[in-house]
Amino acid sequence: MIKEEIFKVAEQQNKSEYNAEQIQILEGLEAVRKRPGMYIGSTSAPGLHHLVYEIVDNSIDEALAGYGKEINVKIHEDNSITVIDHGRGIPVDIHPKQGIPTVEVVLTILHAGGKFGGGGYKVSGGLHGVGASVVNALSEWLEVEVRTGGHVYKQRYERGKTMYPLKIVGSCGAEEHGTRVTFLPDKEIFEETVYDFDTLKIRLRETAFLTKGLKITLRDGREEKKEKTFHYEGGIREFVEYLNRSNVPLYEHVFYCEGQRDGVLVEVAMQHNDSYTENIYSFVNNINTPEGGTHLTGFKNALTKTFNDYGRKNKLLKENEPALSGEDIREGLTAIISIKVEDPQFE
């Protein structure tokens, strides 16, 4: 074979591989549309709201990596949602394996988000943690805008299908960077397509408490204009103050500690109030773990031991007196245990 022919065959092979990959992409997102519940839990209100958390989680990961301190969420008149962050922007360069811009890979290939840029603590990839491509698959349309290198890049998808190649639609300051995603949940998929401001408010407030220093703004652009900003420099310490707001604290100071070992970041905040109820919330990578786990058991054991050791050492507990039980110590306790692990195992 002469050189030209070899090149031609190679080119055709490349093309057919590329097409095969394209087909896989479409099949991947079709699977999501066929069984949405498998990816987002439900197609009723919880699933609808879950779409927002999936997109916001990518912005939170970016903030945890040290890029961008503010996230804006807006509900529009038609119940479409915009999420804006000021991180590095989803990369726009051509993905070496897929041959399309990385941002398009992130939005059109299932589970792609979690596979790149390993390392670092990620809140995405948790319970559902399915990423932006699932949101895209379940949206009538989705538009992404990335600001980086002085350009504004844009791409639109309809029911997960790319409408045009990534294009530059404008310019921005050389130092400006970030990602903006707007999507309209698909009425063919969801039984409920009206967003509830308070549902988003509660979850975004919790997220802000768990990520100290991060500012999250939620705006309602529908009939009844509303706006809420969540920004807690004290993080979970302020979360405990908030939870204890309608109780009488037994002491003024909210106990707080943080530490890191073996790739696990641990934060604890607590304060007793004059009630009898135990109010302990635990989180792994910003996801509530109501069933507890070793992080919660470890905390409870350490608390019981520390109180008893202190009591004995300072003769508050006489030698012939029995130790305080864990339940006694946790009476009226409000606490937050928040851990961040690099590779969480949810069971």
Residues that bind ligand 1YM (CB under 6 A): 55, 58-59, 62, 83, 85, 87-91, 102, 106, 113, 116-117, 179, 181
**CA distance linking residue 145 with residue 158, whole number of Å:** 15
Smallest separation, CB 113 to ligand 1YM (Å): 5
Of 73 and 337, which CB lies nearer to ligand 1YM in the complex structure?
73
Helical spans, DSSP H, in the chain: 3-34, 36-40, 45-64, 102-108, 112-115, 132-137, 197-210, 236-243, 294-313, 326-329
Q: Which residue is nearest to ligand 1YM (CB)?
A: 117
Phi, psi of 22, deg, nearest 5: -60, -45
Of 83 and 243, which CB lies nearer to ligand 1YM in the complex structure?
83
Of 53 and 299, which CB lies nearer to ligand 1YM in the complex structure?
53
Smallest separation, CB 20 to ligand 1YM (Å): 22
Q: Any idea which residue has 């807690």 for tokens?
A: 232
Smallest separation, CB 64 to ligand 1YM (Å): 10
Task: Judge whether 238 and 210 are in contact, CB under 8 Å.
Answer: no
Phi, psi of 152, deg, nearest 5: -110, 115
**CA distance linking residue 76 with residue 231, whole number of Å:** 23
Of 61 and 220, which CB lies nearer to ligand 1YM in the complex structure?
61
**CA distance linking residue 315 with residue 123, whole number of Å:** 44
Of 121 and 283, which CB lies nearer to ligand 1YM in the complex structure?
121
Smallest separation, CB 156 to ligand 1YM (Å): 15
Smallest separation, CB 46 to ligand 1YM (Å): 21
Of 243 and 287, which CB lies nearer to ligand 1YM in the complex structure?
287
Q: Any idea which residue has 């811009």 for tokens?
A: 101
Task: Judge whether 309 and 316 are in contact, CB under 8 Å.
Answer: no
Pairing type for strands 178-185 and 167-171 reads: unpaired
Smallest separation, CB 59 to ligand 1YM (Å): 4
